[in-house]
């Protein structure tokens, strides 16, 4: 299942808000449409957000109809729009910066040539992401014992990337080599990325998986049914503090209490060495109705006040290793990342 692909003149983005009930793609002709898809979480997962935004900047230049002198300002306007969509995921800004370098390197090139080089760079990022994920999977596999039972939260799989996945990339590698017994997938409130996406993805690949609600994780660990916890990351600070989907910190605390290794699997582009700790990572707060209702149906009092942070910060002291395409980084992380 492709999460995105380009067929002249349209960028197709798999609408993950419709999964698992319906497979449908959002058709994007402009950067504004890509930004909307990222903002409303039709597109989600830090690596996929970054690559989608790269294609968005290509579409910005492609759809521009003004004078040559105004193209740079138009590009910056659309770049700012894309950058505003998801503030926590550092891959977004990493991808935009890569496209900026390509844009700047072309100087006064004609618009058609500029479109071509921007599209080429976006495709390079897409292919690199798949290769990086496979390397993460191979590097992480060596950390696991035979018949391993892995717990995860949210979706850090093929659906969150251009293919294969980060945390689920490790799962896939373990399954391919016969080392995996079971995946425990937390449902991931309030948008249910675990229940809707991780379950669908793993069952599609015939990888053994069992769904639990988020508040069952501690009990499952207490019963001795988990061997390791592996999660993805939206941003990793220079000291190893990690931002990931809300609920990740709770899993890390529970894993520590029960003596279980807690691993973060992420591409090197998710590491932001420019910030010293997780305190500096911006945490996105989303629409309160994501908590009040699900797909238009209220599960609580419609007027209730809601706090809805999309991410939390796991302190580096709780992380046993960060699995990247370059290898597994063990603590202490400061100076090694």
Strand positions, DSSP E, the chain: 4-7, 10-14, 25-28, 148-152, 180-186, 209-212, 228-231, 235-237, 242-245, 262-265, 271-272, 293-294, 297-298, 311-314, 321-324, 327-329
How far are the Cα atoms of 11, 52, 65, 90, 307 from residue 3, in angstroms, in the given order?
Answer: 11, 10, 29, 19, 30
List Cβ neighbours of 132 (8 Å cut-off, separation of 6 or more): 47, 267, 268, 325
Tokens of 263: 């691993």
Question: What DSSP character marks residue 185?
Answer: E
Tokens of 221: 């660990």
287 is catalytic: no
Q: Could you say which of 234, 241, 272, 312 is catalytic?
A: 234
- The helix (run of H) or strand (run of E) holding residue 58 is helix 46-63
How far are the Cα atoms of 140, 157, 195, 203 from residue 199, in angstroms, in the given order?
Answer: 21, 10, 6, 6
Q: d(Cα 26, Cα 211) in Å, to the nearest integer?
A: 28
Number of Cβ within a 10 Å radius of residue 212: 16
Positions marked active-site: 234
């Amino acid at each position: 299942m492709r999460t995105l692909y380009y067929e002249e003149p349209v960028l197709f983005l798999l609408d993950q808000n419709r999964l698992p009930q319906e497979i449908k793609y959002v058709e994007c002709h402009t950067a504004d449409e890509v930004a909307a898809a990222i903002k409303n979480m039709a597109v989600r997962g830090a690596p996929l957000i970054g690559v989608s935004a790269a294609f968005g900047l290509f579409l910005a230049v492609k759809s521009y109809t003004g004078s040559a002198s105004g193209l740079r300002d138009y590009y910056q306007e659309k770049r700012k729009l894309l950058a505003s969509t998801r503030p926590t995921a550092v891959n977004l800004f990493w991808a935009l910066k890569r496209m900026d370098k390509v844009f700047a390197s072309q100087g006064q090139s004609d618009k058609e040539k500029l479109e071509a080089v921007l599209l080429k760079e976006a495709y390079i990022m897409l292919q690199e992401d798949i290769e990086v994920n496979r390397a993460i999977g191979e590097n992480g596999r060596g950390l696991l014992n035979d018949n391993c039972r892995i717990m995860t939260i949210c979706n850090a799989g093929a659906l969150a990337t251009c293919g294969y996945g980060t945390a689920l990339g490790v799962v896939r590698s373990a399954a391919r080599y016969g080392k995996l017994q079971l995946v425990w997938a937390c449902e991931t409130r309030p948008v249910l990325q675990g229940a809707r996406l991780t379950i669908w993805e793993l069952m599609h690949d015939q990888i053994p998986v069992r769904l639990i609600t988020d508040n069952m994780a501690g009990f499952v660990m207490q019963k001795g049914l988990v061997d390791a916890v592996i999660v993805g990351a939206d941003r990793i600070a220079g000291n190893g503090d990690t931002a990931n989907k809300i609920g990740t910190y709770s899993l890390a605390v529970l894993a520590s209490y029960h003596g279980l290794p807690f691993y973060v699997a992420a591409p090197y582009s998710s590491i932001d060495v420019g910030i010293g700790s997780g305190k500096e990572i911006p945490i996105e707060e989303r629409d309160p109705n994501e908590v009040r209702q699900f797909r238009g149906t209220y599960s609580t009092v419609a007027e209730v006040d809601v706090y809805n942070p999309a991410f939390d910060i796991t302190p580096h002291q709780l992380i046993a290793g960060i699995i990247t395409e370059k290898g597994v980084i063990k603590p202490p992380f400061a100076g090694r990342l």
